Amino acid sequence: MRFDEAAATWDESPARQERCRTLANELIPIIQANRLKTGLDFGAATGLLSVYLTDCLEQITLVDVSEGMIHEARRKIEQLGANNIETFCQDILSEPLDRQYGLLYTLMALHHVKDVEGALKAFYG
């Protein structure tokens, strides 16, 4: 799939919207019960999932390797006035962010990672 080209219409998929709402509804009670403040959305695409979490996390970081997806995420963040979301267009498996997060979440991205075990070790190592 060519993610840069798909980015402009990515959020239009009803199935994708429903997946994001469903996962957000599962994550919100976990975030609240554990008083988590920060989240990293790995393979964030346009940030559709993270938008649902802006009211319960103080800081959200979106990371994706697709410039088109991050461009759409930034546009959406600006439209929403969501000043607690930041974006990075980079491969954090080869260029890690020098930060720690209370919550790492991902949706429909790990199957694109060649070394999932290595990725999980990098996340939690």
φ, ψ of residue 107 to 5 degrees: the values are -140, 120
Run of H or E including 102: none
Q: Give residue 86's pLDDT.
A: 97
Distances (CA, A) of 105 to 5, 8, 20, 81: 24, 23, 11, 22
Q: What is the pTM of this model?
A: 0.90
CATH of the domain at 66: 3.40.50.150
Range of the domain at 114: 3-124
pLDDT for 113 equals 73
Residue 26 and residue 5 in contact, taking contact as beta carbons nearer than 8 Å: no
Residue 105's pLDDT band, with cuts at 50, 70 and 90, is very high
Amino acid at 17: Q
Q: What are the tens digits of pLDDT across the range 52-96?
A: 999 999 999 999 999 999 999 999 999 999 999 999 998 877 877
- For the chain, the domain total comes to 1
